[in-house]
Amino acid sequence: MKNDRKAWLYLLPAILFLGAFMVYPLVDVLVYSFEEGYNSASQTFMGVGGYNYSYVLHDPYFLQAVKNTFILVIITVPVSTGLALLISLGLNSIKKLKELYQTVYFLPYVTNTLAVGLVFMILFKKTAYTEGMVNMLINLFGGKSVDFIDGPYWAKMFVLCFYTVWIVLPFKILILTSALASVKQDYYNAAKVDGASKWRIFTRITLPMISPMIFYLVITGFIGAFKAYSDAVALFGTNLNAAKMNTIVGYVYDMLYGDSGGYPSYASAAALILFGIVFTITVINLMISKKQVQY
Amino acid sequence: MEVTLQNLTKIFPSRNRKSKESVTAVSDFSLTIPDGKLIGLLGPSGCGKSTLLNLISGLEKPTSGRIFFGGDDVTELPPEVRGVGLVFQNYALYPHLTVLQNILFPLENLKGDKKLTKQQMLEKANEAASLVQISEYLERKPSQLSGGQQQRVAIARALVKMPKILLLDEPLSNLDARLRLQTREELRRIQRETGITTIFVTHDQEEAMSISDMIVVMKEGVLNQIGRPQDVYDEPVNLFVAKFLGTPPINVFRGRVESERLMIGNESVLEVKGVSDREVWIGVRPEGFIPCENGTLTCAQTAIEVMGRDMTVVASHPDCENANIRAIISSEMKVCESAKEARFDLKPNKTFIFEAGSGERIACGPVPLA
């Protein structure tokens, strides 16, 4: 008993902080989402029910945001993980200048977001003076210029996906190169003596051995991509609804503080819907990975 | 399959950029291993045994020299086409595959006309599994097996494709003492049953002596001696080989030859005909001492260890390199336990004389003093 009390005493600071800054807001969001017609100025509401959810689910802006987010997730998670795997395999097999390449691939991770935004402007943005580097390339091969920032939906989505992949790549490469390095040389030697081809060594030895790390990256990748917001802002500005480039988190933010803001109830409902989506997908991921990763 | 190594040399370039020193792991190594024999590759840690094994398996390319399997030059061949089975020191079982999948792995890699049907593969895998007696664990993962069982799986995986040569890198070093004894007999049985030329690396001389048809003693990448275990033990070519084989180790004395008499301190112990005067090392096997009241060698006796079957007289001598002289004598001998002094005659065939400088054996037949 005495020990119990001591343990609680040690835990107290953490519990107080977590309670005040995590548990209480979480519960509050849940409460808000069911309070209909909540007014943040007067702190009053008209009734309790599911109207907020119904409103959000019928809001075309929200549906657009859900569509954008899903496209972003479905494209960037597999592409970035696959690319990271390819690059890590490459890094793992070269000897000369390995450190240099590792540094180069890790640079985006330590680069300031604004600087990255500037780079993307140079790449994609049309100004009075230039069409942007990518358009110059397209023109070089005889194509027509595309307005990537204010142009058609697919062009903007392409830029957003490109940006997201580029931003998340370094971390994934870092994790995968260390995972690859931790596979003992003996396994490769054994497989070589046993006459396995390079492809078979990769699929039967390397991939299963680093699969826990790949699953980790996929799960965190899904969560990260579902929470995308700042990337879209960096590329398309704050009025994402007008640009049709909003994400779910962007929608939540707009409902709270945007031009159409001041609706914490709608924001809470949208946030909880997002939570539901992320939770479901993570559980599915974990179930699959339990089946696959075992040794 | 007969294995021939011809002037094999392996030099590793220096890893450190500052020092240009390269490491010669194997140096001008020539050796012929007869077909169907069990060979123990013996030497202290870091003497290049494992490198030699990797050269034979093809995982390392020699700097110079050639390797032949039978009549075929395999020096330039990659490991997968050499047809060798390799058992790693830590077994290197694939942790995500079951025992059966591990054993099947080499078979699934076969290509062309060697390709087997699923049924044939399973038959072969089961055969290999029963040979090493792990048939009941086929569905388990390696992590669910004990060290000895993992070892067997590793051997089964190496044997399943019927290699021409089986290579084992320190196969017993990860096992406890009891299991080691059992497994080494097992290894001998498996080798006999399959008749595959087997080379195993060990730093444990007892292990090598007990099961090998031939032992190869190497030191710092250089072949020192090759022969049947008993022959190498009885006729070591140099001081290193003499010291390396035998437990308890050989007793080494500083001595000299003076007018055809072998001297330790002021005592002449044996007669050596035809050897000119010089400084020498004198090695006496523990079983080479005969306790004798007026023996030629006088030592200070420190203890008697009784083993039942025999006993060990522990003694010391100022000219002895070993901290303790250990003399194993029959328990029927009468030895006074409280004696301060032990006197021995030396058995001429258990006493070896080596050059003081090079450590090379001086060929001579020592005889007891007249």
Q: Are residues B108 and B177 in the same domain?
A: yes
pLDDT value at position A231? 83
Residue ranges of chain B with per-residue pLDDT less than 70: 16-20, 370
Residues in A touching B95 (Cβ below 8 Å): 209, 295
- Residue B200: how many other CB atoms lie within 10 Å: 26
B77, B94, B115, best to mutate vs chain A, most A CBs in 10 Å: B94
Residues B198 and B276 in one domain: no
Examine residue A24 and state whether it is found in any structural domain, yes or no.
Answer: no
Please check whether residue A222 is in contact with residue A278, taking contact to mean a CB–CB distance below 8 angstroms. Answer: yes
Q: Read off the pLDDT of residues B176-194 as tens digits, 9 standing for 90 and up.
A: 888 888 888 888 888 988 8
- pTM, two decimal places: 0.77
* Residue B227 falls inside a structural domain: yes
The ipTM assigned to this model is 0.79
The average pLDDT across A113-121 equals 79
Q: Using an 8 Å Cβ cutoff, are B155 and B194 in contact?
A: no
- CA distance linking residue B300 with residue B315, whole number of Å: 5
- For residues B215 and B272, state if they share a domain: no
CATH of the domain at A269: 1.10.3720.10
Could you tell me if residue A77 is inside a domain? yes
What confidence tens digit (pLDDT) does each residue in A9-21 have? 999 999 999 999 9
Q: Give residue-wise pLDDT tens across range B48-71.
A: 888 999 999 999 999 999 999 988
Alpha-carbon gap, residue A240 to A255, rounded angstroms: 12
Interchain contact, A190 vs B86, CB within 8 Å:
yes
Q: Which residue has the higher pLDDT, A133 or B59?
A: B59
Top pLDDT among B200 and A132 is at: B200
* A158 inside domain: yes
Q: How far A201 CA lies from chain B's nearest CA (Å)?
A: 10
**Start-to-end Cα distance in chain A:** 40
User: How many residues in total does chain A contain?
Assistant: 295
At A234-288, the pLDDT tens digits run 888 778 777 788 899 999 998 888 776 678 888 999 999 999 999 999 899 888 8
Could you tell me if B27 and B149 lie in one domain? yes
Of the three residues B176, B211, B238, the one that is the final residue of a domain is: B238
Q: Which of B59, B110, B143 sits opposite A193 (nearest CB)?
A: B59
Identify whether the C-beta of residue B69 lies closer than 8 Å to the C-beta of residue B32. no
B37 and B129 together in one domain: yes
Of B109, B111, B143, the CB nearest to A194: B109
Query: How many whole angstroms separate alpha carbon B291 and alpha carbon B329?
Result: 8
Q: Are residues B147 and B88 in the same domain?
A: yes
Domain that includes residue B325, residue range: 248-368
For strand B165-169 and strand B84-87, is the pairing parallel, antiparallel, or unpaired? parallel
Helical residues (DSSP H) of chain B, grouped into ranges? 49-57, 79-82, 99-108, 118-131, 147-159, 177-194, 205-211, 229-234, 239-244
pLDDT over threshold 60, residue A182: yes
Is the bond preceding A208 in cis, omega lying within 30 degrees of 0?
no
Cis peptide before B248, with omega less than 30 degrees from 0?
yes
Expressed as residue numbers, the domain containing A190 is 58-292
Yes or no, beta carbons of B94 and A197 under 8 Å apart: no
| In a domain? residue B176 | yes
A:B CB pairs within 8 Å: 64
Same-domain pairing of B37 and B112: yes
pLDDT at A260: 65
Mutate to test the interface with B, among A186, A187, A194, A215 (most CBs of B within 10 A): A194
B27 Cβ contact list (under 8 Å, min separation 6): B9, B48, B220, B221, B222
Residue B286 gets which letter from DSSP? G
For residues A245 and B7, what is the distance between their CA atoms, to the nearest angstrom?
71
Identify which has the larger pLDDT, A59 or A134: A59
pLDDT in tens, B186-229: 888 889 888 899 999 988 888 888 889 999 999 988 999 999 99
Q: Both B304 and B175 in a single domain? A: no
Question: A230: pLDDT confidence band, cut at 50, 70 and 90?
Answer: confident
pLDDT of residue B269: 87
Q: Give the separation between CA B68 and CA A18, rounded to whole angstroms.
A: 70
Alpha-carbon distance of A174 to A107, in angstroms, equals: 11
- Count of domains observed in chain B: 2
Which residues of chain B are within 8 Å of residue A205 when distances are taken between CB atoms? 94
- Please judge whether A189 and B86 are an interchain contact, meaning their C-beta atoms are less than 8 angstroms apart: yes
User: Residue B325: helix, strand or coil by DSSP?
Assistant: strand
Residues of B with CB under 8 A from a CB of A: 57-59, 78-81, 84-86, 88, 90, 92, 94-97, 105-106, 108-111, 141, 143, 157, 161
Residue A30 lies in a domain: no
To the nearest whole Å, the CA of A184 is away from the closest chain B CA by 8
Residues of A (190-249) whose Cβ lies below 8 Å from B: 190-197, 200, 204-205, 208-209, 211
Domain count for chain A: 1
Task: Specify whether the CB–CB gap between B185 and B209 falls below 8 A.
Answer: no
Question: What distance in Å separates the CA atoms of residue A255 and residue A266, rounded to the nearest whole number?
Answer: 7
Residue B243 lies in a domain: no
Question: Would you place residue A294 in the very low, low, confident or very high pLDDT band (cuts 50, 70, 90)?
Answer: low
Q: What local confidence, expressed as pLDDT, does residue A71 receive? A: 94
Other CB atoms within 10 A of residue A195 CB: 22
Provide the 8-state DSSP code for B360: B
By CA distance, what is B158's nearest residue in A? A194
DSSP structure class, residue A15: H
pLDDT reading at A169 higher than 60: yes
Indicate the residue among B206, B238, B270 that finishes a domain: B238
Asked if residue B34 is part of any domain, the answer here is yes
